[in-house]
Amino acid sequence: MKTARIIKTGDHKKRLIVYRLIVYSLSLVLLSPGSLIGANIPSIEDVVAGKASPPTIEDLTGGKVKNDGLVDKNNVELVKEYLTAVMYENVKRGMVMRMGNQLPPDQLNPKAFKEATERNRGKAVMDKNGVVYYEKIGTLWPGGIPFPNAKTGLEAMGNYHYGRVWDTLRNYPIDMWYVNSRGEVYKSVGQEHRYVKCSARTMVPPLGTIPGYENIYIRRISVATYPREITGLGQFTVRYYDPAKTYDTGFAYLPAFKRTIRVSATTWQDNIAGSDLIYGDGDGFQEPYFDWDLKLLGKKFLLVHEPKSPTPILDPVSE
């Protein structure tokens, strides 16, 4: 049995970030169950099914937080129920959030992905390890969210793993800041990531599965961009459709030696370059989830950041 890990963050920057209320339709495993009170607040199931509109932050807080209001450490308790543990901690340490109106569904998920979810609704099946298939074991999942109304922890994580929206993801930058006990950044490392999903593709041809790669889920390249002494250091990783049968394959390129070496891509509990992050923290949860004892505690509305914030970051130094 593994336990959840809360990532530590430093109070070295203050951000003004626009947040909007959405239903996390992938139904991820929650840290704690939540309840909604109020006759005018629709159920999560009705919102996910498109039978009702998501409630506003004013609805959820009884008007105590306005749709365009600010949330900071002084009033964060009003929305604590709708924040992740890490986001709550960030606000307590100085981050400021501006509330916003709900975005139209097509601005959150592409139309083709939503259509794939509806087209394949009720056709997902799962083996004992949580691997998702289409109608019968062995037929690859063709795309969309497998279990829009997940009922178990395995189904929720099947949504997370096999129901990702993107087909190809390029130039995905990650900046890692190392913060000391005084809240000061003493070192930073930059990376770029490129992903190609080989199965469950819904938007970029070839749709479905790339021929010849039926046993592969994604291929990923990660490259260090700074500081200069590690620029070009990279890793190529292959994740397989059924990770219970085949664990990840990994290769690293060392520019200083112009050598490529085989590396282990399954050391999920190892720290990344001496930071508080572990390899399993990436993308929210990267580990093969069949290694965990999962339980779906419930579903709830969550506040998440807008895909593209209309409000610039206050601190220009970080841009």
Burial of residue 317, with CB atoms counted within 10 A of its CB: 0-12 exposed, 13-18 middle, 19 or more buried: exposed
Beta strands in the chain (DSSP E): 16-23, 70-71, 96-100, 124-126, 132-134, 168-179, 185-197, 216-226, 234-240, 249-254, 259-263, 301-305
The 3-class secondary structure across 144-169, one letter per residue, is: CCCCCCCCCHHHHHHHHHHCCCCCEE
Q: Across-strand partners of 175?
A: 190
**Rounded to whole angstroms, how far apart are CA atoms 143 and 203?**
9
pLDDT at 47 over 80: yes
Structure tokens at 103: 């975005």
Contact by Cβ (8 Å): 43, 316? no
Structure tokens at 156: 């929720």
pLDDT at 173 over 90: no
pTM > 0.75: yes
Contact by Cβ (8 Å): 158, 124? yes
**Rounded to whole angstroms, how far apart are CA atoms 59 and 295?**
29
The model's confidence at residue 310, banded by pLDDT at 50, 70 and 90, is: low
Q: What is the mean pLDDT of residues 153-158?
A: 92
Structure tokens at 26: 């992938």
pLDDT at residue 190, as a whole number: 93
pLDDT at residue 306, as a whole number: 79
pLDDT at 77 over 90: yes
Strand order in the sheet with 185-197: 168-179, 185-197, 216-226, 234-240, 249-254, 259-263
Q: What is the mean pLDDT of residues 182-210?
A: 93
Q: Express each pLDDT in 254-263 by its tens digit.
A: 999 999 999 9
First to last CA, the chain: 40
pLDDT at residue 82, as a whole number: 94
Structure tokens at 5: 């890990």
pLDDT at 17 over 80: no
Position 136: which residue type?
Answer: K
pLDDT at 308 over 80: no
Burial of residue 190, with CB atoms counted within 10 A of its CB: 0-12 exposed, 13-18 middle, 19 or more buried: middle
β 168-179/132-134 pair status: unpaired
Contact by Cβ (8 Å): 239, 266? no
Q: Express each pLDDT in 94-130 by its tens digit.
A: 999 999 877 777 777 888 999 999 999 999 999 998 9
The model's confidence at residue 265, banded by pLDDT at 50, 70 and 90, is: confident
